Structure 1
Amino acid sequence: MATESTATAPKGDALDAGVLKVASVVVLGAIMAILDTTVVNVALQKLTIEFSTSFDVIQWVATGYLLALATVIPVTGWASDRFGTKRLYMLAIVLFLAGSMLAGAAWNIETLIVFRVLQGFGGGMLMPCGMTILTRAAGPQRIGRVMAVLGVPMLLGPIGGPILGGWLVDAVSWRWIFFINVPIGVVTLLLSWRLLPKDAPEPAGRFDFVGMLMVSPGLAALIFGVSKVPSAGGFGAVEVWLPVLAGLVLLAGFVVRALKVANPLVDLRLFKNRAFTIAMVTMSLFFVAFLGGMMLLPTYFLLVRGETTLHAGLLLAPQGFGAMIMMPITGRLADKVGARKIVLPGMVLLVGSMAMLTQVTATTPYWVLLSALFVMGLGMGCTMMPITTSALQTLQPKDMARASTATNIVQQTAGAIGSAVMATILAALLAGKFGVPTAQGQLAATAAILNPASHEAATGLAADAFSTTFVWSLVLVVLCVIPALFLPKSRPAAPAVSEDGDEITPPVLVH
């Protein structure tokens, strides 16, 4: 007999103890998945030496994880409905844990890549499934606050990852960048079993197997091709345009088919909701513009200023502090006012901080750089999660699993494109200044900077390349303002109210 879960949102807007318990579990899972990505990135050089292999091969440690992530995300919405979010979330943790333990014990580069793919299958389900659980537990009128909670690991992961990874690789062993997930994962699994609300599987329709054969490989091919842009030196290389073209053809075919079949793997009918569509467009441009720009910062500190990986991570900390200050405030506001009133001021802060970075040189005072990063963090706290909140606030609880899947697909794809675009622009500018092909731009700059005879001139040239790249990032951030102007300017309609004054919230089924 189905009954109403205690996780159903109570009357009032405050986050109650039940929702906070659910949030703690979801945040732990998010921290585990996001930290793992950034921690591994700083260890690639060490792994190249450890396994006596080439950098092209070792890149598959990161690329294999990313492609597994892209492959499994589209299936998560259907699987959440079919098997229940709690079961799927616990399965994702088990897969991630197994992949982590096996990767830490890897005996050659081939086994490490295979185990990273297993990790990616688990990691790809953690974020969309966790987002679905959290938004269902909180209810539509408190999505802003729970998104602010979920946003903390998303923002701190890129900052804390290099610090933790640098320390583990230097002071302990590269194996511990994977083993560190084991205690976190075990705790998360136990808390998931105890604290997450039970939910019965819902009618999910027939599995769209043909759709999976189109959208999962299409998304993986697109992201793979885009990820090869920096190393290939541009979009003209065969290893770039061929997978990108194949991915776009598969995704276009999926879109045409999804509009005709009854139960598509990714529900494109969600885009009939104007607020959801505008938020997705804004989010796409935001992730292309901003995540690409964020990628430049640690590279600037490492290449131009000669900082260690650990110090570069510490220097990015003001960005996280700014976001942490602003997120609780904007999370509360997102449930009371329209997203436009929060996002547009955040865009102003981002534009201002990015404008400061367009003036960087090889000797820019650190207090100027850290001030720009702090302001940037404030802007991030005003934009990233309120945009996501705007996408989800007007949807029905039954749509949350499919909407979370669509949101994560947009974030992964746009983030990969943004990083590739900014890396390519930077490589091209460095190549022009050092007179080498685009694919060798960063290598040539590094060699010139390490040479004492050319160090001073080379750092100046490299800094010029970074400042020009930041101009491009600034232009893209400004473009984000256009769709942001169409975000809702007022709070979404309140839920229906019963005769005795209680909120009518859809029941969460238990078995």
Structure 2
Amino acid sequence: MSHSQSNTSTQSEGIFKVFPILTSFLIAGFIGLFSETALNMALSNLIQDFGIHETTAQWLTTGYLLTLGILVPVSGLILQWFTTRQLFVVSLVFSIIGTFIAAIAPSFGFLMVARVVQAMGTALMLPLMFNTILLIVPPHKRGKIMGLMGLVIMFAPAVGPTLSGLILESLTWHWIFWISLPFLLVALVFGIFFMQNVSTPTRPKIDIVSIILSTIGFGGVVYGFSSAGEGGGWSEPVVIISIAAGVIGLIVFCLRQRTMVQPMLNLKTFKYPMFVVGLLLVLICMMVILSSMILLPLYLQTSLAMTTFAAGLLLLPGGIINGLLSPIMGSLFDRFGPKWLVIPGLAIVIASLAGFYTVDLDTSSYFIVGMHILLMIGVSMIMMPAQTNGLNQLPPELYPDGTAIMNTLQQVAGAIGTAVAISILSSGVKSYMEGGADLSNPLTPLLAFTSGVQNAFLFAIIAAVVGFIVGLFVKRVKVDHPMSSS
């Protein structure tokens, strides 16, 4: 695979029109990730429209995550088989077809197929986006550009619920997709005109056994944790079997990769200490964000009896501030390195989660907005600097593998964080109700729910403290790859 070093030979000539390439990715990435969370707000409408159970409706999210968990690991291989333009066009075509099927979906089955097709588009788009940035942007400018991508990756899921809440006020859920469609078409046309091939396909050998093991491994873990998070509980046979099969699949997959001359996913990336530290920080961040993003709307709607739209609006300022801060944090990273951002960022995250740990039935909306803004400021200081610093340490021929590993494990961490948060929440409710609570008091179920939310935030605090300890090891990477000459 080392002959893919030729990827970087063209860079020093500075022939890439970086701005149009990035714009194509920004539009496509935003809409892809927007639809990931936008549909969450419409779940109750879908349950009514299709006459389905909540656990069935949850499959629209689980199926999406599962598709990403299975396809993203293979993306490292796909990136080396096809040109940038081919992959960009194909990923957008998948997204457009999926969005169109969803917009006209007459039944739950149709919508489920649409979500899987959409996820196939996103699974190709995300690693392609990161890999392209690493190849066309010199290391000393990467923080700022990664920050712009952070604006999309964090901002789209944050505004998704609010925008879809607005749409659902006056239109049906189909419009979430009809409104997304023109943007995807614009991104496709824009990409056809401006996207350039930034790498030369090296076409490494495809190992079917590795693909099967990766599918069982990552798919099993994501499915097992998602099933537990849907309220099935950890003792359900499907949860135990899925996670066990997933873990065994991953172990065999890793052993196989180590013995192959041309591995599907090159695990040599783990020999680079800052890549490992960056990866761990990103995973902890994902667990904290996704567990908070599921806990807060539930708390606002259940304990504080807010409407879906009001809950979405409360969480909007934090999302917007995070989006706006991402490019600024990227520029600060370029100037000062990761340490002075990551460690204070983790301290802010811990402080905000400690604030959420104190919520009760009388907590004011202002307090929630303030703590959420703090959380999002902290996350913007950790996520992109840790990710960019980690990927910067890799030599160019390991970029596809590094981006595939980071994007895959983010999906896995997200599924784990959500599942653990939900199961701690439900067991907290149960133990409160069984712990001698006054069952005749009409407020008792709400008090029990709030107690469960507090327990779940305690889990997030512990994760963030572990992150803080990992963050102490962050060091700025000195990049001496061929590309730094550009």
Fold in common (TM above 0.5) = yes
Equivalent residue number for residue 477 of structure 1? 464
Aligned equivalent of 2:478, options 492, 498, 501:
492
Cα drift, residue 342 of structure 1: 1.3
Judge conservation of contact 2:290–2:418 (CA < 8 Å) in 1.
yes
CA distance 1:374–1:26, change in 2 (3 Å) = same
Question: Aligned partners of 1:343 and 1:277: how far apart in 2?
Answer: 15
Relative distance call for 1:496 and 1:73 in structure 2 (3 A) is closer
1-side partners of 2:158 and 2:273: how far apart? 34
SS of aligned partner of 1:264: coil
Deviation at 1:31, TM superposition (A): 1.0
How far residue 379 of structure 1 moved from its aligned partner, in angstroms, is 0.5
Equivalent residue, structure 1, for 2:454: 467
- Deviation sequence 1:442-495 (CA, Å, 0-9, x none): xxxxxx9xxxx955444333223322321221121111112111111x352456
What is the match of residue 442 of structure 1?
none
Give, as a single letter, the amino acid of the residue that structure 1 aligns with 2:256: R
**CA distance in structure 1 between the aligned counterparts of 2:62 and 2:170, rounded to whole angstroms:** 26
Equivalent runs, 1:84-233 vs 2, <5 Å: 84-199=83-198, 201-233=200-232
1:62 is aligned to 2:61: yes
C-alpha separation in 2, matches of 1:491 and 1:257: 30
1:35 and 1:161 in contact (8 A); partners too: yes
Instruction: Tell me, yes or no, if the aligned pair for 1:223 and 1:413 is still in contact at 8 Å.
Output: yes
- In 1: Cα distance, 2:289 partner to 2:74 partner: 27
* Residue 246 (structure 1) shift: 0.7
Are the aligned partners of 2:151 and 2:327 in contact in 1 as well (CA < 8 Å)? no
Which stretch shifts more, 182-191 or 114-123?
A: 114-123
Give the residue type in structure 2 aligned to 1:360: V
Matched-pair identity in %:
25
> In 2 relative to 1, CA 107–291 (structure 1 residues): closer, same or farther, beyond 3 Å?
closer
What is the CA–CA distance in structure 2 between the aligned matches of 1:62 and 1:321, rounded to whole Å? 23
- Kept in 2: contact 1:135–1:143 (CA 8 A): yes
2:262 maps to 263
Query: Would you say the 8 A contact 1:81–1:203 is kept in 2?
Result: yes
Shift of residue 315, structure 1, vs aligned partner: 0.3
Q: For residue 117 of structure 1, report the CA deviation from its aligned partner.
A: 1.4
Q: 1:318–1:377: 8 Å Cα contact kept in structure 2? A: no
Contact 2:225-2:419 within 8 A present in 1 as well: yes
2:88 touches 2:125 (CA, 8 Å); kept in 1? yes
* Offset from partner CA, 1:396-447 (integer Å, 9 cap, x none): 33322221111101110011101111111011111222349xxxxxxxxxxx
Residue matched to 2:322 = 323
Q: Deviations over 1:111-170 (max 9, x none)?
A: 221222122211211111111112222122222111110111222223211112222233
2:281 touches 2:470 (CA, 8 Å); kept in 1? Answer: yes
Specify the code of the residue in structure 2 equivalent to 1:405. Answer: A
Cα displacement string for residues 232-281 of structure 1 (whole angstroms, at most 9, x for unaligned residues): 44322112111111111111110000000022221111111121122122
CA distance in 2, matches of 1:332, 1:127: 22
Partners of 1:348 and 1:188 lie apart in 2 by 38
How far apart are 1:369 and its partner, in Å?
1.8
Q: What is the SS of the residue equivalent to 2:204?
A: coil
Contact 1:144 1:332 in 2 (8 A): yes
Q: How far, CA to CA, are the matches of 2:421 and 2:472 in structure 1?
A: 25
CA distance in 2: counterparts of 1:4 and 1:200, whole angstroms: 5
Matched, 1:504 2:485: yes
- Contact 1:233 1:427 survives alignment (8 Å): no
- Distance in 2 separating the partners of 1:5 and 1:233: 49
CA pair 274-359 structure 1, distance change in 2 beyond 3 A: same
- For residue 3 of structure 2, what is the aligned residue in structure 1? none
Q: Kindly provide the amino acid, as one letter, of the partner of residue 463 in structure 1.
A: T
The alignment status of 1:384 with 2:383, answered yes or no, reads yes
State which drifts further: 191-200 or 266-275. Answer: 191-200
Give me the whole-angstrom Cα distance separating, in 2, the residues matched to 1:272 and 1:455.
57
When structure 1 is superposed on structure 2, of 476-485 and 285-294 the one drifting more is 285-294
Contact 1:23 1:149 in 2 (8 A): no
Q: CA deviation at 1:385?
A: 0.9
- 2 CA distance for matches of 1:286 and 1:24? 26
Asked if 2 retains the 8 angstrom alpha-carbon contact of 1:322 and 1:381, the reply is no
The number of aligned residues is: 478
Deviation at 1:4, TM superposition (A): 9.8
Query: Which residue of structure 2 aligns with residue 509 of structure 1?
Result: none
Distance 1:485 1:252, change over 3 A: same
CA distance in 2, matches of 1:467, 1:248: 30
CA RMSD of aligned residues (A): 2.5
**Can you give the 5+ residue segments of structure 1 that lack an aligned partner in the other structure?**
437-447, 498-502, 506-511
- In structure 2, how many angstroms separate the alpha carbons of the residues matched to 1:10 and 1:320? 38
Of stretches 35-44 and 282-291 in structure 1, the one that deviates more from structure 2 is: 282-291
Letter of the 2:467 partner, please give it: C
What do the CA deviations read for 1:354-399 (whole angstroms, capped 9, x no partner)?
1111111111122222211121121011011111111111223332
Distance verdict in 2 for CA 1:455–1:147, change over 3 Å: farther
Q: Residues 108 and 322 (structure 1 numbering): CA distance in 2 closer, same or farther, change over 3 Å? A: closer
Rate the CA distance shift 1:316–1:478 in 2: closer, same or farther, 3 A: same
Aligned to 1:368: 367
Query: What is the DSSP-based 3-state SS (H/G/I as helix, E as strand, rest coil) of the residue aligned with 2:105?
Result: coil
Shift of 1:56: 2.7
The residue that corresponds to 1:443 in the other structure is: none
Cα contact 1:96–1:122 (8 A) shared by 2: yes
Shift of 1:171: 1.3
SS at match of 1:83: coil
Distance in 2 (alpha carbons) for counterparts of 1:304 and 1:90: 45
Q: Does 1:51 align with 2:50?
A: yes
- Tell me, in whole angstroms, the C-alpha distance in 2 between the residues paired with 1:307 and 1:138: 45
After alignment, is 242-251 or 425-434 more displaced?
A: 425-434
**Which whole-Å CA distance do the structure 1 matches of 2:273 and 2:121 have between them?**
32
